[in-house]
């Protein structure tokens, strides 16, 4: 994939130049997460983030690009809500659509051993895929691998899995490795990512945290379609 020749070296160079704690960044779909899947990171109360992603030549959308704008607000430390604007030229959905999204952290890993959240993507079914209601469970498994590293610290590994309807359409799972304080890499599996590809989908990507507020994402969707995004957050995030 030709764009990776330029994006990944830039990510690596910037990671050496900047050092900052990770904050909750929106996924491509909008809610805080990796690429398409949610995580159990949340915006702090009364903070905002906004971002833009573009996915290039998406197969299921007749090789159209998808331009996605999103914004979220931390209603409280365990509840965030937001909206996403999709601008697509054809395929599963065309034109501009606005979705309403929210997620809530039911259990924290610090108190219960695992973190559990519930959420909804596209509450009003603007994409005609049914509301994406889901439940998601995650855990830092670094200690299970025999390594004594604090959760969220460089070298730590988180994994999670969930099930949902709508755009998630079944089972999904993800994992992220914190390479440095400001660089994460992640992979995710979706049993059927409705709007992006037919059938099972595997996505891989990286997220660079620049300063205390800016993030840059890059990824391969269905290991084929390249995407990149930029996000700004009004306040740093303290990890669960």
Report the 10 Å Cβ neighbour count for 123.
17
Q: pLDDT for 185-196, tens place per residue?
A: 999 999 987 666
**pLDDT over 80 (residue 161):** yes
Three state DSSP letters for 66-94 = EEEEEEEEEEECCEEEEEEEEEECCCCCC
**pLDDT over 50 (residue 148):** yes
Please report, in angstroms and rounded to a whole number, the separation of the first and last CA atoms in the chain.
35
Q: pLDDT for 67-83, tens place per residue?
A: 999 999 999 999 999 99
Q: pLDDT for 211-237, tens place per residue?
A: 889 999 999 998 988 999 999 998 644
Q: pLDDT for 163-217, tens place per residue?
A: 999 999 999 999 999 999 999 999 999 998 766 667 789 999 999 999 889 999 9
Rg of the Cα trace of the chain? 17
Provide the percentage of residues in the chain whose pLDDT is more than 90. Answer: 64
Q: pLDDT for 97-139, tens place per residue?
A: 999 999 999 999 999 999 999 999 999 999 888 999 999 999 9
* Both tokens assigned to 109: 């890993």
Q: Is 47 in contact with 207 (CB distance < 8 Å)?
A: no
CATH assignment, 4-233: 2.40.160.40
pLDDT at 134: 98
Please compute the mean of the pLDDT values over residues 82-89 and round it to a whole number.
88
Helical (H) or strand (E) element with 230: strand 225-233
pLDDT at 119: 98
| Closest to 138 measured CA to CA, from 163, 117, 169 | 117
| Closest to 132 measured CA to CA, from 166, 177, 84 | 166
The three-state secondary structure class of 152 is: coil
Domain boundaries, the chain: 4-233
pLDDT confidence bin for 60, thresholds 50/70/90: low
Question: In angstroms, what CA-CA distances link 37 with 95, 164, 171?
Answer: 23, 11, 11
d(CA 190, CA 147): 29
pLDDT at 22: 53
pLDDT at 94: 57
């Amino acid at each position: 994939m030709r764009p990776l020749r330029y994006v990944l070296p830039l990510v690596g160079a910037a990671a050496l130049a900047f050092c900052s704690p990770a904050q909750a960044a929106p996924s491509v779909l909008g809610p805080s997460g990796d690429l398409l899947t949610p995580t159990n990171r949340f915006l702090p109360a009364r903070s905002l983030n906004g971002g833009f992603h573009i996915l290039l030549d998406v197969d299921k959308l007749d090789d159209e690009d998808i331009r996605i704008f999103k914004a979220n607000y931390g209603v409280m430390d365990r509840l965030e809500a937001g909206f996403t604007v999709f601008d697509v030229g054809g395929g599963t959905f065309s034109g501009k659509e606005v979705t309403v999204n929210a997620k809530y952290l039911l259990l924290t890993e610090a108190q219960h051993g695992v973190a559990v959240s519930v959420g909804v993507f596209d509450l009003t079914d603007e994409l005609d895929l049914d509301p994406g209601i889901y439940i998601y469970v995650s855990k830092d498994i670094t200690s299970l691998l025999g390594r004594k590293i604090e959760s969220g610290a460089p070298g730590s590994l988180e994994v999670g899995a969930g099930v949902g309807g709508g755009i998630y359409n079944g089972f999904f799972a993800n994992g992220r490795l914190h390479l440095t304080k400001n660089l994460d890499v992640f992979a995710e599996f979706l049993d059927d990512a409705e709007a992006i590809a037919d059938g099972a989908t595997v996505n891989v990507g990286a997220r660079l945290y620049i300063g205390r507020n800016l993030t840059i994402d890059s990824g391969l969707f269905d290991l084929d379609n390249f995407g990149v995004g930029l996000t700004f957050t009004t306040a740093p995030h303290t990890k669960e």
